[in-house]
A and B are shown apart, each in its own frame.
Chain A
Amino acid sequence: MGRAYWQGFRAALPFVLVVAPFGLLFGVVATEAGLDIVQTMVMTVLVIAGASQFAAVQLLADHAPTFVAILTGLAVNMRMAMYSASLTPYLGKASLGKRALVAYLIVDQSYAVSVAEYAKSPKRPLPEKLAFFFGSVSPVAPLWYGFTYIGAVAGKAIPPEYALDFAVPITFIAIVAPSLRNLPQISAAFVSVAVALLLAWLPYNSGLMVAALLAMMTGAAVEKRLERRV
């Protein structure tokens, strides 16, 4: 058990390099946008999903209506329904309480290393699988909370020449760019950008919702077409 925990811990250790600066940046951006430290920390602990937090805070700062900020944040997190589905065959037999705790701690990093481990050794007993999962999230979640706090406290001290307004676009592009490697993903991204710009005049940032839906349909349609050809 202890061994499985530390295996998970080690597997997720490289992500420390990503999570720390990302948390710091969120702390800075959230306080810049007008959240106080308590609000920033409650959000970070309750949501633990960086991209959606950036998205929601950015929209609030742009004076988008509350429901648009919420829906956009949730849309960004919809990928976690897939994570949840793909963990279920391995962890579905755990107690309800443990499954709830696992669910709260599903983040990109813990999902990626755990599902890779489960696929490699599917025969490991359930307690070891759970220990591996909790191990994999241990270097990530506390660091995310801690660095958000440091960013939130230090944020006000950063002068405007550092153009931190642009930290959010840069971070989002950096998250998406590595997945732009095949035609369906590239077409989806292209439709998303084009429609969002064309419909930027729509009220309540609703252009983004339309853009996202059309982009998803584009990605799925291109993927299907490519499959049929093979």
Chain B
Amino acid sequence: MSDTSIWITIIALGIGTFLIRFSFLGLLGGRDLPDWLTRHLRYVPVAVLPGLVAPLVVWPAATGGSADLARTLAALTVLAIGALTRSVLGAIFGGLAVLYAVQYFA
């Protein structure tokens, strides 16, 4: 990736993110979002992030794109701990522990 594309990404993401944050507070006053829109916006994180992650888990670049036991088990651990305990940090550390343990022993 080139320096230019990095800078363009940084600046566009910075300005765009500010405009998203400013949108209603800054421009639309007290008007509410239409129902159908908030209903869709509620699912944005859960619609984008899993799809972004799935190929990284199934075909990790670090192993040349073939599935890898340590990474798969680590991903499942994070998912389980996060869903059961709702602790983001707990899930991250649990996942890293499994990743390192499996890499070390396997």
Residues on A lying within 8 angstroms of B by beta carbon are 17-18, 21, 34-35, 39, 42-43, 46-47, 49, 51-53, 55-56, 58, 60-63, 66, 69-70, 72-85, 87-89, 91-92, 96, 99-100, 102-104, 106, 160-163, 165-181, 184-185, 188-189, 191-193, 195-197, 200, 207-208, 211-213, 215-220, 223-224
Contact = CB atoms under 8 A, between A and B. Distances in A.
Nearest to A61: B1
Interface size class of B (residues with CB under 8 A): 35 or more
Given A47-B14, A84-B21, A167-B96, 7 more contacts: A35-B6, A52-B13, A162-B100, A170-B74, A173-B75, A174-B89, A192-B51
Contacts of A99: 22, 25-26
Contacts of B87: 178
Contact of B46 (A43, A88, A179): A179
Contact of A103 (B25, B46, B60, B81): B25
B58 interface: yes
A188 B57 CA distance: 18
A174 B13 contact: no
Contacts of A172: 49-50, 52-53
A34 B2 CA distance: 9
Given A52-B13, A102-B25, A178 B82 contact: yes
Contacts of A87: 24-25
Among B40, B43, B55, B83, residue most surrounded by chain A Cβ atoms (within 10 Å): B43
A178 B83 contact: yes
A63 B18 contact: no
A89 B47 contact: no
Nearest to B61: A165
A73 B9 contact: yes
A36 to B, nearest CB: 9
Contact of A184 (B7, B43, B81): B43
Contact of B82 (A53, A173, A208): A173
Contacts of A63: 1
A18 B88 contact: yes
B62 A70 contact: no
